[in-house]
Amino acid sequence: MSEECLVLLDNGSLRPDAVLSLRKIAKELGALLEKAVHPVSLLHSSKIPADELDGVEAQTWRRFLRQSLSVGVSRFRVVPLFFGPSSAIADYLPKVTAEVMAKHGEATLKVVKTLLDPERPGDDGVARILADLIIQKMDTKSEGDRPGVIVVDHGSPLKVVADCRNRVAAQVEALLEGRVSSVSAASMERREGSEYDFNEPLLERALENACSAGWKRLVLSYLFFSPGRHAGPGGDIDQIVADSRFAREGGVVDCASLVGKSPLLVPLLARRYEESLAD
């Protein structure tokens, strides 16, 4: 029996910083578990020139799986660097895996639970990460000025993912009771159609609500791991904030660090891995 291949899998990005962040997290996870952890993306990342990635090409799942099968690896365990059970994990990953195996040989694949597990609503590991990052960002000099908080994610066509985001926002509010005025959740974007209304409010609407409510200051808490097209400096979220009435009328928006920067992330990923061994 071949040794199990352990993979840290993200969605992928065309931004080098996102790939380098994935590699850093995988290295730290490997050090904690005392195992080799391969950083792999579902899509996109292989298009980044290697010279922008310290001379090492990014791996995408289809190619990584094909190459691994060709050298006799037949057991894989994937730790998803995803918050909730998105369609990328629930649908696309099994589809690509089945296509590769049909051509290149059978293998066993175990997918570890995502960080926000719908079956464990009491688990507040992600909320504790966000709360810690928010506290780091808050200006503690103004003791009487408690900022509002908006927890923003990408938005999803799956209600279960939006429910996970809403749950973690409620947990953050409980953890930060007395330190912030309120915590709300928002999506960066959504699909058209009333069947996707569970993504509301969009971030632009949440910022408008903050303005109408008289907030003067808020902390934006990212449900994003790494910098890319959406989150981080110059991303879509920055533009949404800059275009908002809240910002134009002098509201202060402090952006908490991305989740990939938290020292609490790798232990939580390790815990999900260890839990999967008992399943």
**pLDDT category, 141, cuts 50, 70, 90?**
very low
Same domain? For 144 and 225 the reply is: yes
Please report whether residue 254 resides in a domain: yes
Question: CATH number of the domain that 58 lies in?
Answer: 3.40.50.1400
Same domain? For 152 and 202 the reply is: yes
pLDDT, averaged across the chain: 93
**pLDDT category, 139, cuts 50, 70, 90?**
low
Q: How many domains does the chain have?
A: 2
Residue 2 is predicted with a pLDDT of 66
Q: Which of 112, 141, 159 is the last residue of a domain?
A: 112
Please report whether residue 266 resides in a domain: no
Give per-residue pLDDT as tens, 1-43. 568 999 999 999 989 999 999 999 999 999 999 999 999 999 9
Same domain? For 241 and 158 the reply is: yes
Same domain? For 175 and 76 the reply is: no
Please report whether residue 185 resides in a domain: yes
Please report whether residue 120 resides in a domain: no
Q: Which domain holds residue 257?
A: 125-261
Same domain? For 242 and 206 the reply is: yes
Mean pLDDT of 120-130: 95
Same domain? For 103 and 172 the reply is: no
- Left, alpha or beta for 185 (phi > 0: left; psi -120 to 50: alpha)? beta
Q: Does pTM surpass 0.85?
A: yes
**pLDDT category, 144, cuts 50, 70, 90?**
low
Res 180 pLDDT > 90: yes
Give per-residue pLDDT as tens, 87-115. 999 999 999 999 999 999 999 999 999 99
Res 234 pLDDT > 60: yes
User: pLDDT > 70: what percent of the chain?
Assistant: 97
Same domain? For 211 and 155 the reply is: yes
Same domain? For 104 and 130 the reply is: no
User: Residue 95: CA atoms inside 13 Å, Cβ hemisphere, count?
Assistant: 7
DSSP 3-state helix, strand, coil percentages of the chain (rounded to 5)? 45, 15, 40
Mean pLDDT of 228-247: 91
Least confident range from 82-86, 141-145, 169-173, 185-189: namely 141-145
Please state, in angstroms and rounded to a whole number, the distance separating the CA atoms of residues 21 and 139. Answer: 27
As beta bridge partners, residue 177 has 180
Please state, in angstroms and rounded to a whole number, the distance separating the CA atoms of residues 261 and 17. Answer: 12
Same domain? For 160 and 236 the reply is: yes
Please report whether residue 119 resides in a domain: no
Least confident range from 135-139, 238-242, 246-250: namely 135-139
- CB within 8 A of 272, min separation 6: which ones? 79, 112, 113, 114, 115
